[in-house]
Amino acid sequence: MEVKDDALVAAVKRDYTQAPLDRPTRALLDYAVKLTRTPGEMRREDAEALRNEGFTDRAILDAAEVVGYFNYINRIADGLGVDLEPGMAPAR
């Protein structure tokens, strides 16, 4: 998917909670952030919030798998001291 709204992309990168996003997108990002930062605090209500925004169970599963995979692979890379790809800025 190509995003053509550079201002929106910049706003999401800066702080998605302040970006002009629709409710389903914001709910999905909230879910992804919580699953990333505090996975032990995830509850059924987190998935229910996505259902309330129109996400199917399959879409919620897909989101959890993608978020989980990226968290996993980043932890493996960090644990092994893998260098960033050229052109990627280090995390702050």
Q: What is the mean pLDDT of each run of 10 residues along the chain (92 residues)?
A: 78 94 97 97 97 98 98 93 76 58
Asked whether residue 40 is domain-assigned, the answer is yes
Task: Give me the number of domains the chain comprises.
Answer: 1
Buried b (16+ CB within 10 A) or exposed e, 14-50: eeeeebebeeeeebbbebbebbeeeeeeeeeebbebb
Distance CA 26, CA 17 (A): 7
Asked whether residue 88 is domain-assigned, the answer is no
Q: What is the pTM of this model?
A: 0.82
Asked whether residue 42 is domain-assigned, the answer is yes
Question: What CATH number corresponds to the domain at position 66?
Answer: 1.20.1290.10
First to last CA, the chain: 27
Q: pLDDT per residue over 37-52, tens digit each? A: 999 999 999 999 999 9
pLDDT of amino acid 1: 47
Asked whether residue 12 is domain-assigned, the answer is no
* Count of C-beta atoms within a 10 Å radius of residue 55: 20
Q: Which residues span the domain enclosing 27?
A: 22-80
